[in-house]
A and B are shown apart, each in its own frame.
Chain A
Amino acid sequence: MRREAEMERRGLRGKLIVSAGVIVLFFLPVLFKSSDYVFHTLNMIAYYTIAVTGLNILLGYTGQISIGHAALFAIGAYTSALLALKFGFSAFLLIPLSGLAAAVVGFFMGAACLRLKEIYLAMGTIGLGGAVEGVIINWDTLTGGSMGLLGIPYLRVGSFVFNTQYRQYFLVYPIMIFLLLVARGIISSRFGRAMMAIREDAIAAASYGIDTTGYKLLAFTLSAFYGGIAGSLFAHSTGILFPDHFSMEVSILLLMMVVIGGRGTISGSIMGAALMTAGFEFLRGLKEFQMVIYGILLVFFILFMPQGIMGSLLMRKDRILLWLGWERK
Chain B
Amino acid sequence: MIGNIILSGIPIGCIYAFVALGFSLIYSSVRLLHLAQGDLIMIGAYTGLLITSFYHIPTVPLLLSALFIVAILASLIERFIYRPIMYSHPSNRIICTLAVGIILRNIITASGSNRPENLPEWVLSGEPLVLGTRLIAPAYYWTIVISAVVMIFLTLFLMRTKVGLAIRATAFNRRLSDLMGINTSFMLTFSFFIGGALAGIGGILAGKVLFLNPGMGFGIGIKGFVGAVIGGWGSLPGAVLGGLVLGLIENWVAGFISSGYKDAITFVILVFFLIFRPQGFLGQKDEARS
Q: Which of A116, A130, A290 contacts B222 (CB 8 A)?
A: A130
B222 touches A248 (CB 8 A): yes
A299 at the interface (CB under 8 A from B): yes
Q: Which residues of the partner chain A approach B88 to less than 8 Å between Cβ atoms?
A: 302, 306
Write the chain B residue with the least CB distance to A256. B95
A124 touches B274 (CB 8 A): yes
Q: Which residues of the partner chain B approach A302 to less than 8 Å between Cβ atoms?
A: 85, 88, 92, 95-96, 99
Quick one: which of B93-114 are within 8 Å of A by CB?
94-96, 98-100, 102-103, 105-107, 109-110, 112
With most chain A CB atoms within 10 A of its CB, the pick from B90, B91, B218, B258 is B91
Chain A, residues 95-138, CB within 8 Å of chain B (1/0): the string is: 00000000000000000110111111011101111110111011
Interface residues on A, range: 35 or more
A296 at the interface (CB under 8 A from B): yes
With most chain A CB atoms within 10 A of its CB, the pick from B90, B94, B110, B267 is B267
| A167 vs B271: C-alpha distance when bound (angstroms) | 42
Q: Which residues of the partner chain B approach A112 to less than 8 Å between Cβ atoms?
A: 271, 275
Q: A128-B271, A131-B268, A294-B102 are in contact. Are A255 and B95 (CB under 8 A)?
A: yes
Interface SS majority for chain B: helix
Quick one: which of A284-313 are within 8 Å of B by CB?
288-292, 294-296, 298-299, 302-303, 306
A124 touches B271 (CB 8 A): yes
Q: Which residues of the partner chain A approach B109 to less than 8 Å between Cβ atoms?
A: 288, 291
A134 touches B261 (CB 8 A): yes
Q: Which residues of the partner chain B approach A218 to less than 8 Å between Cβ atoms?
A: none
With most chain B CB atoms within 10 A of its CB, the pick from A263, A290, A296 is A296
| A212 vs B103: C-alpha distance when bound (angstroms) | 38
Q: Which of B85, B222, B267 contacts A303 (CB 8 A)?
A: B85
A252 touches B89 (CB 8 A): no
A84 at the interface (CB under 8 A from B): no
B271 touches A259 (CB 8 A): no
Q: Which residues of the partner chain A approach B91 to less than 8 Å between Cβ atoms?
A: 59, 65, 255, 258-259, 263
Write the chain B residue with the least CB distance to A305. B92
Quick one: which of A126-156 are within 8 Å of B by CB?
126-131, 133-135, 137-138, 145
Q: Which of A117, A259, A292 contacts B92 (CB 8 A)?
A: A259
With most chain B CB atoms within 10 A of its CB, the pick from A112, A118, A119, A122 is A119
Q: Which residues of the partner chain B approach A138 to less than 8 Å between Cβ atoms?
A: 258, 260-261, 264
B95 touches A298 (CB 8 A): yes
Q: Which residues of the partner chain A approach B84 to less than 8 Å between Cβ atoms?
A: 303
Q: Which residues of the partner chain A approach B275 to less than 8 Å between Cβ atoms?
A: 112, 115, 124
B203 at the interface (CB under 8 A from A): no
B69 at the interface (CB under 8 A from A): no
A67 at the interface (CB under 8 A from B): yes
Q: Which residues of the partner chain B approach A122 to less than 8 Å between Cβ atoms?
A: 33, 90, 94
B124 at the interface (CB under 8 A from A): no
A116 touches B98 (CB 8 A): no
A259 touches B288 (CB 8 A): no
Chain B, residues 271-290, CB within 8 Å of chain A (1/0): the string is: 10011001000000001111
Q: Which residues of the partner chain A approach B92 to less than 8 Å between Cβ atoms?
A: 259, 302, 306
A130 touches B95 (CB 8 A): no
Q: Which of B103, B110, B260, B289 contacts A117 (CB 8 A)?
A: B289
| A93 vs B235: C-alpha distance when bound (angstroms) | 51
A298 touches B99 (CB 8 A): yes
A137 touches B264 (CB 8 A): yes
B110 touches A289 (CB 8 A): yes
| A256 vs B101: C-alpha distance when bound (angstroms) | 13
B268 touches A134 (CB 8 A): yes
Quick one: which of B232-290 are within 8 Å of A by CB?
233, 258, 260-261, 263-268, 270-271, 274-275, 278, 287-290
Q: A128-B271, A259-B91, A303-B84 are in contact. Are A117 and B102 (CB under 8 A)?
A: no
B274 touches A299 (CB 8 A): no
| A130 vs B225: C-alpha distance when bound (angstroms) | 13
B229 at the interface (CB under 8 A from A): yes
A299 touches B271 (CB 8 A): no
Write the chain A residue with the least CB distance to B269. A127
B81 at the interface (CB under 8 A from A): yes
Q: Which of A118, A133, A135, A256 contacts B90 (CB 8 A)?
A: A118
Closest chain-B Cβ to A57's Cβ sits at a distance in Å of 14
A252 touches B260 (CB 8 A): no
Q: Which residues of the partner chain B approach A115 to less than 8 Å between Cβ atoms?
A: 275, 278, 289-290
A256 touches B99 (CB 8 A): yes
24 residue pairs from A and B, CB less than 8 Å apart: A112-B275, A113-B274, A119-B94, A120-B289, A124-B274, A126-B225, A126-B270, A128-B267, A128-B271, A137-B264, A248-B218, A256-B99, A259-B92, A288-B110, A289-B106, A292-B110, A294-B102, A298-B96, A299-B99, A302-B85, A302-B96, A303-B81, A303-B96, A306-B85
- What are the 7 A-B residue pairs with the smallest beta carbon separation, nearest first? A134-B264, A130-B267, A127-B270, A295-B103, A291-B106, A295-B102, A120-B289
Interface residues, chain B, with chain A CB atoms under 8 Å away: 27, 33, 81, 84-85, 88-92, 94-96, 98-100, 102-103, 105-107, 109-110, 112, 218, 222, 225-226, 229, 233, 258, 260-261, 263-268, 270-271, 274-275, 278, 287-290
Known: A67-B94, A133-B264, A295-B99. 9 other contacts (CB 8 A): A119-B288, A122-B94, A126-B225, A127-B226, A131-B271, A288-B109, A296-B103, A302-B95, A306-B89
